[in-house]
Amino acid sequence: MSKNTPSNHGEGDPEAADRFNTAERAFVDSARGKKKIKEGPAVSAGEEGDLAKAEKIGLDHAQGDAAKPS
């Protein structure tokens, strides 16, 4: 059997996660990020129907899973 080296973190890499989180916070706090956040909820009329349909499918699926015995 081989031992894991200190650089092997199994399922995740804490240093990479920290770099990602730092970059994500910087983007969210930036002017560009704030603009994108405000634009995010904007959905075209054509997309509203697709989103409603997808949401219903997801809810129906979740209810079906909840109804199954464990």
Domain membership flag for residue 19: no
- pLDDT number for residue 56: 94
Q: Which CA distances in Å does 58 have to 53, 55, 61?
A: 9, 5, 5
The pTM for the full model equals 0.47
Q: What is the pLDDT of residue 45?
A: 81
Q: Domain range spanning residue 42?
A: 25-67
Higher pLDDT, 8 or 2: 8
* Gap between the Cα atoms of 26 and 32, Å rounded: 10
Q: Is the pLDDT of residue 4 over 60?
A: no
14 inside domain: no
Residue 65 has pLDDT above 70, yes or no: no
Total number of domains in the chain: 1
Torsion of CA 30, 31, 32, 34, to 10 degrees: 90
Domain annotation covers residue 58: yes
- In this predicted model, what pLDDT tens digit does every residue of 8-57 receive, in sequence order? 667 788 889 999 999 999 999 999 999 999 888 788 888 888 999 999 99
